[in-house]
A and B are shown apart, each in its own frame.
Chain A
Amino acid sequence: MTAEPQLSSAQTAPAASPLDPALAVATRGLVKSYRRHKALVGLDMSVPRGKVYGFLGPNGSGKTTALRLLTGLLRPDAGTIALFGTPYTWHDRKRLFRVGSLIETPSFYPYLSGAENLLVLSAAGPPTDKSRIGQVLEYVGMGGRSKDAVQTYSLGMKQRLGIAAAMLSDPDLLLLDEPANGLDPGGMVAMRETLRYFTESLGKTVIISSHLLHEVEQLADVVGIIDRGRLLREGDLQQLLADAGRVKVRVPVDQMAQAAAILSTFAPQRPLYGVDRGEQAGMFTVAAAPERAAEINKALADAGIYASGLEPGSDLESVFLELTGTGATVHDRPDDVGHMGGPLAAEQALPSTSETPPRASDSSA
């Protein structure tokens, strides 16, 4: 269970020099422990400038720790960090003038209004024009409530204010930890558009850590997938998806075990995911090239299993599950259940191990 997953062909690209000016952030061998718990065990991430970088990982994988290290809240035990091509150390505070961040939950003085919170925040750190306060509040759609006390805000409004605070000093790099938390659909669309504008029109860089894989898939140019404190995969999202073709096939629930044996032959070295209850019951995800969908269908039909659905393609969710091993092992990692949220939480792992081909992670052990 603890063995690292086998990675597919498009592995993390060879590490560029951390001092490469084309990188907004580069970490090498970053290590951080909280007493006995190792949060990061040698994180090497490279975030290109002007891109949206999706930072993905299960709960407790080390995402927030990494972001805290990048913002000087924590001190690394070992390893290096470079921001915009130059080394960054814990007390090198002025380097953070180019960074805006929202780490974990948005934190504000509850008795001050949204605008007042930004006003007091603007006095700290980089010199900030007061006119930015109104601008960023408008960006995040909070102009109308900016004079109300923060204690009257909903979670989504606090989140919007947190994003506004991160953008306050017009930073070159934006670090957003779970920014979509509590946002309504309109807020998520607005955030997506704002961040797109931020990178595409202004040439700035965004690192967005999220559990909402669909959201990241729509937004990110580059992704890094982290688990147990180590980066498992990093690279261009489209390339990653192209390399991670899969076919979703739905079979009768009572024939799942038989189907699993057949489907596993299409990707013997890759894990096979299936859902045995709920609305998605009978759905398999086979890590096979999309063009093999017809072949899969025929193999099932030859065995007397008639698929009621067949969907070739690829998505970030499959890649994530494969790399982090949080699909078929949900019940083995109870800490992961919560964050998976909505549809994934409803999915249950396939089958018992006797019915499921060995996962890649197991085979590599």
Chain B
Amino acid sequence: MIGLVRAELLKIRRRQATYVLLAIELGLAALIFLATGGIWQQAEVISFPRAYAIFEQVIFQLGGLLAIVFAAAYVGADWNWGVIRNVVARGEGRERYLLAKFLSVAIVLALATVVMFAACFVLLYLQGLIYNVPVANPFRADGLQDLLVWIVAGFPVLLQRAAIGFAVAAIFRSQLAGAVVGIVLFLVEAVVTTILTLLTLSNSLVNDIGSGGFQTTGPEWFQYLPISIGGNVFGALPGAAGFASGNISAALLNPVPFGVAMAGVFIYMIAALVIALVALRRQEIA
């Protein structure tokens, strides 16, 4: 298995698409920091963990979408280029092969997460310079702890989204189809969840006006959908209350409790992997 993972890492390392995706994320991160600079102008100092909420937007929300694309393109390429045939015909276990791929993706995403955190710190300091707002020390005693909490809680969400890309690519046997379907799933769920959140909220408001008071509602069923559940994980992290979680349902409705949301993330991740494994195991490779 170690040999397989090393081979997979070589494939990822030498593939141009890996660096293109990272460059896209860095570019979009720079735009996001530039665009959100104004929110700090009211503050005397850019503080932590509040600043991590923007990190989360960049690394885990935007990064989650790119993780789906990356995983789908990476797995689907084996069908596009026909190399899956070589591997299976050599007697390699299909499940072992896919798991090795997933482990490799996990390693690369972990590295990408570290790189992006570092990039976010740099961009934040640049943002502070541009808007003339001093940046607090992120590594003060509890700041470092917050950083670890963000990474530990956020990384499984990133992996879960990569696993969705895996499953889609394994089913569609194509990197393009995998990436496109993955993006569509991501965006469709975001739109549907937003609409349902607003509908739920308006119904709740009508009822509450009738009863003379406003009460928050939820969590609702759609907050447990594969992408939303990740957003609900972030809703409970330090500095990410309300819209800072980047998830509209978690901001406007009662969020899914952190433990439940995290369990949901793992369940979806495992389910996606199982689907990918079953799809590959049953597939005839022409």
A interface vs B, CB < 8 Å? 68, 71-75, 93-97, 99-101, 103-105, 107-112, 116, 119-126, 165, 169
B143 → chain A closest CB, angstroms: 41
Q: Is the CB of B10 within 8 A of A116?
A: yes
Give the CA-CA distance A100 to B89 in the complex, in Å. Answer: 8
CB contacts (< 8 Å) of A95 on chain B: these are: 91
Q: Is the CB of A165 within 8 A of B86?
A: yes
Q: Which of A75, A93, A107, A109 contacts B91 (CB 8 A)?
A: A93
Give the CA-CA distance A116 to B12 in the complex, in Å. Answer: 12
Q: Which of A71, A96, A108, A116 contacts B81 (CB 8 A)?
A: A108
Give the CA-CA distance A75 to B97 in the complex, in Å. Answer: 19
Is B87 interfacial (CB-CB < 8 Å)?
Answer: yes
Tally of B interface residues using CB under 8 Å: 27
CB contacts (< 8 Å) of B4 on chain A: these are: 123-124
Q: Is the CB of A107 within 8 A of B7?
A: no
Quick one: closest A residue to B5, CB to CB? A123
Q: Is the CB of B90 within 8 A of A169?
A: yes
Give the CA-CA distance A68 to B15 in the complex, in Å. Answer: 29
CB contacts (< 8 Å) of B97 on chain A: these are: 124
Give the CA-CA distance A68 to B285 in the complex, in Å. Answer: 8
Q: Knowing A108-B83, A119-B7, A123-B6 are in contact, say whether A74-B286 is a contact too (CB < 8 A).
A: yes
Q: Is the CB of A126 within 8 A of B91?
A: yes
Which secondary structure dominates chain A's binding surface?
loop
Give the CA-CA distance A112 to B81 in the complex, in Å. Answer: 12
Give the CA-CA distance A97 to B77 in the complex, in Å. Answer: 24
Which secondary structure dominates chain B's binding surface?
helix
Q: Is the CB of A112 within 8 A of B11?
A: yes
Q: Is the CB of B91 within 8 A of A99?
A: yes
Give the CA-CA distance A121 to B7 in the complex, in Å. Answer: 8
Q: Is the CB of B90 within 8 A of A109?
A: no
Q: Is the CB of A72 within 8 A of B83?
A: no
Q: Knowing A74-B285, A107-B85 are in contact, say whether A120-B15 is a contact too (CB < 8 A).
A: no
CB contacts (< 8 Å) of B38 on chain A: these are: none
Q: Knowing A74-B284, A107-B86 are in contact, say whether A123-B14 is a contact too (CB < 8 A).
A: no
Q: Knowing A73-B284, A105-B82, A124-B4 are in contact, say whether A116-B14 is a contact too (CB < 8 A).
A: yes
Q: Is the CB of B91 within 8 A of A125?
A: yes
B22 → chain A closest CB, angstroms: 16
Q: Which of B3, B10, B86, B92 contacts A93 (CB 8 A)?
A: B92
CB contacts (< 8 Å) of B45 on chain A: these are: none
Q: Is the CB of B81 within 8 A of A72?
A: no
Q: Most A CB atoms within 10 A — which of B81, B86, B284?
A: B86
Quick one: closest A residue to B285, CB to CB? A73
Q: Given A94-B91, A124-B86, 17 other A-B contacts at CB below 8 A?
A: A72-B89, A73-B88, A96-B90, A99-B89, A104-B82, A104-B85, A105-B82, A108-B86, A109-B77, A112-B10, A120-B10, A120-B11, A121-B87, A122-B7, A124-B87, A125-B90, A125-B91
Is B211 interfacial (CB-CB < 8 Å)?
Answer: no
Give the CA-CA distance A203 to B85 in the complex, in Å. Answer: 26
Q: Mark B71-107, 1 if CB is under 8 A from A, else 0.
A: 0000001000111011111111100010000000000
B4 → chain A closest CB, angstroms: 5
Is B16 interfacial (CB-CB < 8 Å)?
Answer: yes
CB contacts (< 8 Å) of B86 on chain A: these are: 107-108, 121, 124, 165
CB contacts (< 8 Å) of A96 on chain B: these are: 89-91
Q: Which of B10, B16, B81, B285 contacts A119 (CB 8 A)?
A: B10
Ordered by A's residue number, 8 sampled pairs between the chains whose C-beta atoms are within 8 Å are A74-B284, A95-B91, A97-B90, A99-B91, A110-B81, A124-B86, A124-B90, A126-B90
CB contacts (< 8 Å) of A165 on chain B: these are: 86
Give the CA-CA distance A58 to B174 in the complex, in Å. Answer: 30
Q: Is the CB of B10 within 8 A of A103?
A: no
Q: Is the CB of A109 within 8 A of B11?
A: yes
Q: Is the CB of B284 within 8 A of A112?
A: no
A95 → chain B closest CB, angstroms: 7
Quick one: closest B residue to A34, CB to CB? B286
Q: Is the CB of B81 within 8 A of A109?
A: yes
